[in-house]
Structure 1
């Protein structure tokens, strides 16, 4: 960079500022009127000025000894830099200030988990897995509340065992459904295969559970709907409530949830996107294709049906 030459840095959601070679990110943001926290006075003795680097990391100065010491103590992820210790060498830098008001200050200073790599948020390609229990409402209506809770625990445990066996992680449970992800520690192809293996195992385990327990003791059987999609998401520890919880968000998550919901109209227990299916080294031989319209997706979405038609749907058709 030539002497006295300035470049632009975008503070996402705030403004684009001019920064000279001799200025740090903190100095430039303050000069532009951004209320950038710097509790230690910009001496590299705290982390209140830290920023998440969204673009242009290669245009930033090398980590100096002062910043390195702080990073080691706080275990900051690679895409987070101290604004007071960072200069800019060229165009294309976009950052996001992490502490913006008193609420942010409390969350990041008092509520930050020990694992800094998950506290902020990272981009990663993952396999997204949604599963929901079919014909559970009739069971609830016909049985006592404590029996319903008992069976729910049995089924959720069945789900969790299969998901964790193949390296997945449950992100959320809601009602009679579970949302899990695969790929936190593996590449996307391995993650997708693991998600499919987990789904196939659950289908088999539910069948066994029905035959050995549900039909014998409750004169009922369950089926499930599974949706799997892949894509780049953001994951991080949201730190809400009494315990810090991992969150995985992004449009691919919404798609996976909608694929699970589409198992009803497609009358198939396991629906996987074409993108995810293409990741499989040994895809299931029994497969049908379909095109469906998903909310938020302009074109028809191609999916693969790797499960089976629902028994309860066939039974209902006979009754009609």
Structure 2
């Protein structure tokens, strides 16, 4: 008996007995790419199975070989190698025009999961250098860049030591994530350990280098939060192209900004703090209102009060 397959955003297609998904879509007039002629020797006909994966025939030997090479997730199938054995199948073509074809076929990223994007729980880490503007104003350009490189090396070494990935740098701060290769509890632990290492290493840098040679010291503000985010590769040729976005990212950024008003160098959401197996000493907890966030967030202060007085910033009325 014939079944039906729903091509998301396109049409519901009848599938006759013995037809592959590719054959059925072509018969229904869908311009389904199939560069190798439907012989399982390329990947242009691949589809993302949204529902009914159990209603498809098992992967063929051609699919298994390609999956091993391309590291396809289980819900990506070759339409030319997949037959339907029941109702309730919904798929989405991944290559729908020439731009898609370039991204998926000619792009340098060999991870289909990263190109397609995925949701996963991660620890989000924001850090910003305090009192850097006075140093800029009083120093030569060479010294400013040189010190920036030294400080960012401290950041990078700590983050990479604990398996974090720097996503973005902006001015005198950066944004990193933990959890690309670990579960959320380990990700939270790693983010905290990286932050504490940065605070310790920066203290040494201040005492052995900044004070003797520049009569200046630096402090930082760190914010950490955890949550489910979207991870993907935007493929625009910048850095490693990895993007991590979502509401929890905004919360982490707000926590970093709140270090100033809370007068503590390391602010972590209570949600992230409760995931830690070895919880660092907290100077206190409380609820803070974050800009753009409707409910107050409970946080833990696991850094130290700032040694230098920070200028007061008038609250944003917007």
For this structure pair, what is the TM-score category when the shorter chain's length is used for normalisation? Answer: 0.7 to 0.9
| 1:106 CA displacement | 1.4
- Match of residue 9 from structure 1: 6
In the superposition, relative to structure 1, how do residues 211 and 73 fare at CA in structure 2: closer, same or farther (>3 Å)? closer
Aligned partner of 1:106 among 102, 107, 113: 102
Asked if residue 301 in structure 1 is aligned to residue 297 in structure 2, the reply is yes
Residues 8-59 of structure 1 deviation map (CA, whole Å, 9 limit, x = unaligned) = 6352xx2463454745443455566544322233332211122334455444
Q: Which of residues 202, 206, 210 is equivalent to 1:210?
A: 206
Mark the CA change 1:267 to 1:87 in structure 2 (over 3 Å): closer, same or farther.
Answer: farther
Does residue 76 of structure 2 align to residue 75 of structure 1?
no
Per the alignment, do residues 10 and 278 of structure 1 end up closer, same or farther by CA in structure 2, a change over 3 Å counting? farther
SS of 2:168's partner is strand
Q: Structure 1, residues 55-108: CA drift from partner, whole Å, max 9, x if none?
A: 554443321223223323433233322223234455665544322222221122
Distance 1:24 1:271, change over 3 A: farther
Q: How far apart are the structure 1 equivalents of 2:257 and 2:14?
A: 49
Residues 279-298 of structure 1: pairs in structure 2 closer than 5 A: 279-298=275-294
Query: Which string of whole-angstrom CA distances, capped at 9 and with x for unpartnered residues, describes residues 205-253 of structure 1?
Result: 1122112211221122111111111122232333322775333233322
How is 1:156-235 mapped onto 2 (pairs within 5 angstroms)? 156-235=152-231
Question: Partners of 2:243 and 2:269 in 1: how far apart?
Answer: 22
- Please, what TM-score do these two structures have when normalized by structure 2? 0.86
Residue 312 of structure 1 aligns to a residue whose secondary structure is: coil
Equivalent position SS for 1:302: strand
Match of 2:131 among 128, 132, 135: 135
Kindly report the root-mean-square deviation, in angstroms, between the aligned alpha carbons of the 2 structures: 2.7
Q: For residues 303 and 32 of structure 1, what CA distance do their matches in structure 2 show? A: 56
**Aligned in 2, Cα 1:110/1:46: closer, same or farther, shift over 3 Å?**
same
**Residues 1:274 and 2:277 are matched in the alignment:** no
Cα distance change on mapping 1:230 and 1:285 into 2, 3 Å: same
Change beyond 3 A, Cα 1:277–1:243: closer
Question: What's the CA shift for 1:200?
Answer: 0.8
The number of equivalent residue pairs is: 311
Mean Cα deviation higher: 36-45 or 172-181: 36-45
**3-state DSSP class of the match of 1:313?**
coil
Write the distance in 2 (CA, Å) between the matches of 1:28 and 1:226: 54
TM-score, normalisation: structure 1: 0.85
Local SS of the residue matching 2:244: strand
SS in 2 for 1:299: coil
Q: Which residue of 1 is the match for residue 315 of structure 2?
A: none
Unaligned runs of 5+ in 1: none
The separation in 2 between residues aligned to 1:263 and 1:88, in whole angstroms, is 56
3-state secondary structure, aligned to 1:311: coil
Distance 2:87 2:293 in 1: 34
Structure 2 CA distance for partners of 1:39 and 1:126, relative to 1, 3 Å? same
Q: Please say which of residues 82-91 and 161-170 is displaced more in the overlay.
A: 82-91
Q: 1:229 to 1:32 in 2, by over 3 A?
A: farther
Unaligned regions of 5+ residues in structure 2, if any?
313-318
Alpha carbons of structure 1 residues 4 and 254: separation in structure 2 relative to 1, 3 Å: same
Q: What are the equivalent positions in structure 2 for 1:22-37 lying under 5 Å apart?
A: 22=17, 23-30=19-26, 34-37=30-33
- State which drifts further: 248-257 or 128-137: 248-257
